[in-house]
Amino acid sequence: DTEVTQTPKHLVMGMTNKKSLKCEQHMGHRAMYWYKQKAKKPPELMFVYSYEKLSINESVPSRFSPECPNSSLLNLHLHALQPEDSALYLCASSPSLAVSYEQYFGPGTRLTVT
Amino acid sequence: KQEVTQIPAALSVPEGENLVLNCSFTDSAIYNLQWFRQDPGKGLTSLLLIQSSQREQTSGRLNASLDKSSGRSTLYIAASQPGDSATYLCAVRSGGGADGLTFGKGTHLIIQP
């Protein structure tokens, strides 16, 4: 099973809402990633988790709060977002942070902030 | 800072043609390079992974080459089909440890039936 799942597929939220994105994999991978992709742009790295510990935060605003409660699950908590945060949020995983490994991506959550 | 460029930005060809997509990167100190396919509004499907020590990888009608010293990779698609229509993204892993992938902007490919 080489599948990364993400829920929800679509999310519309107001600027005062609090919501969460969920990512799950059952491949035994110990590295998980959040990427953000704006329309017609390439994905950009947001966060990296290794063995449930945050390894990288690419200067992401605090209104985005990641959480890795266990080795299979990665959440992204959203609060007080801006319309410019509307994007496709992609989750990925790999066996570890070792550079030789392939990253597997989920289908993404399409977020619209109104 | 690593930068990845993909040429052409868009390509439209008749079905059955062989075609080449190009990817270049500014810092040749990469660990690996991945080619992805992305359908409109969807996630990324990994097509091929080439390690820095490899010259090429093949999967079905796809062949990817890597010339690390010149900072270039090509994706060759043989006998193109309408189902190949998608955006193709090239991404490099050039930071050790916790760095993620650096992506190019992609080539939007249309195969005309």
The answer to whether B92 and B32 have CB atoms below 8 angstroms apart is: yes
Contact of A106 with A23, CB cutoff 8 Å: yes
B12 C-beta neighbours (distance < 10 Å), count? 11
Q: Which of B32, B43, B100 is nearest residue A100 as measured by Cβ atoms?
A: B32
pLDDT at residue B14 is higher than 60: yes
Asked whether residue B98 carries a pLDDT value surpassing 70, the answer given is: no
Greater confidence (A71 vs B23) lies with B23
Strand partners, A113: A13
Q: List B68's β-bridge partners, or say none.
A: none
pLDDT score, position A55: 84
Average model confidence (pLDDT) across chain B:
93
Whose tokens are 């990167």? That residue is: B25
Q: What pLDDT score does A56 carry?
A: 77
Q: Give pLDDT, residue A98.
A: 80
How do B4-7 and B19-25 pair as beta strands? antiparallel
Whether residues A99 and B45 touch (CB distance < 8 A) is answered with: no
Q: Residue B96 pLDDT > 80, yes or no? A: no
A33 to chain B: which residues are within 8 Å by CB?
100
Q: What is the mean pLDDT of chain A?
A: 92
Does residue B99 have a pLDDT over 80?
Answer: no
Q: For residues A89 and A76, is the Cβ–Cβ distance under 8 A?
A: yes
The ranges of chain A with pLDDT < 50 are none
Percent of chain A clearing pLDDT 70 (strictly above): 98
- ω into B8 cis (within 30 of 0): yes
Say if the Cβ atoms of B101 and A43 lie within 8 Å. yes
pLDDT of residue A2: 64
pLDDT of residue B9: 95
Would you state the pLDDT for residue B89?
97
- Residue numbers in A near B105 (CB within 8 A): 41-42
pLDDT at B57 over 70: yes
Round to whole Å and give the CA distance between A34 and A21.
Answer: 10
